[in-house]
Chains A and B, each alone.
Chain A
Amino acid sequence: QQPVQSPQAVILREGEDAVINCSSSKALYSVHWYRQKHGEAPVFLMILLKGGEQKGHDKISASFNEKKQQSSLYLTASQLSYSGTYFCGTELGRGSTLGRLYFGRGTQLTVWP
C-alpha cells in the first residue's frame, strides 16, 4: 500500500524546474505532499482530492490523476529554500483508514546556487 515515488533524488541549480512523481497500486481518495528538512518535522504543502484537480502554492503546484492513481509535484524556478525531502502521502479513504496516510520513500531535492 506504500506509494512509489520517483526519482529518488534530484539535484538542481537555482531557477531550474523539477517534477516529482507518486504512484499507487490502490485506488486513492486523496494525495498529500509534505516537505522535510534534515532534522526537522515534515511540513504540509498541499492536498489533492479525487477529480483530477491541480493546486498551486507559490511556485509549487501539483496534479492528481485518479484514474492512473498518480500525482505529480511541480517545482518551478526552484529556490535554495526548496531543498529537502519531499514525501507523498496517500489516503485510501475506506472505513477506518480514512485520514490515515501511507507515505512514499521520499525524493531528496538539492538546490545549488
Chain B
Amino acid sequence: DTGVSQNPRHKITKRGQNVTFRCDPISEHNRLYWYRQTLGQGPEFLTYFQNEAQLEKSRLLSDRFSAERPKGSFSTLEIQRTEQGDSAMYLCASSMGRVNEKLFFGSGTQLSVL
C-alpha cells in the first residue's frame, strides 16, 4: 500500500492556460474523489467516481473543469482557461466505496494561477 499519489505537487500557470492533474488511488480502491481546498477552508467536494463512472459533479464545478477515470484506475482533473480564482490545493482521495468508510487523501496539487 503506497497510499494515494498526486502529481504534480505544485503547478504555476498563467491565466488562460490549461492544466491537468493526475491522481493514482490505492490500487484496490474503487471510489475516487476530487476536492478543492483554499486557505483557511475545509476540503470542498468537486466530483467522484465509482470505478470508471463519474457519479456526481458539484454545482461549483464549471464547464471548464473535467475529470476522467479511464479503466477505473488513475484519474485526471483538467482545468481549461484557468482563472486566478482557480488557485487552490486540489486533493484526491480514495476508498473501497463501502458505507462508513474512511477516505485516504493524497498530498494534493497546489495550483497557482498568475
Are A and B physically bound partners?
A: yes
User: Chain A interface (Cβ within 8 Å of chain B)?
Assistant: 2, 30, 32, 34, 40-44, 47, 49, 87, 89, 91, 93, 96-106
A96 with B55: CB separation less than 8 A: yes
A102 with B41: CB separation less than 8 A: no
B107 with A40: CB separation less than 8 A: yes
For B, the interface residue count at a CB cutoff of 8 angstroms equals 26
What total count of A-B pairs have CB within 8 Å? 61
A-B contacts, 13 of them at CB < 8 A, read A34-B103, A41-B4, A41-B107, A41-B108, A42-B43, A47-B101, A87-B43, A89-B103, A98-B99, A99-B95, A100-B45, A103-B43, A104-B42
B106 with A41: CB separation less than 8 A: yes
Minimum CB distance partner of B92 in chain A? A41
Query: Which residues of A sit under 8 angstroms from B95, Cβ to Cβ?
Result: 99
B45 with A99: CB separation less than 8 A: no
- Cα separation A97 to B31 with both chains bound (whole Å): 13
Query: Which residues of A sit under 8 angstroms from B56, Cβ to Cβ?
Result: 96-97, 100
B31 with A47: CB separation less than 8 A: no
B45 with A41: CB separation less than 8 A: no
CB distance from A99 to the nearest CB of B (A): 6
Query: Which residues of A sit under 8 angstroms from B43, Cβ to Cβ?
Result: 42, 87, 89, 101, 103
Minimum CB distance partner of B98 in chain A? A99
- Cα separation A2 to B60 with both chains bound (whole Å): 14
B48 interface residue (CB < 8 Å to A):
yes
A99 with B99: CB separation less than 8 A: yes
- Cα separation A34 to B42 with both chains bound (whole Å): 10
B40 with A100: CB separation less than 8 A: no
B103 with A105: CB separation less than 8 A: no
- Cα separation A34 to B37 with both chains bound (whole Å): 14
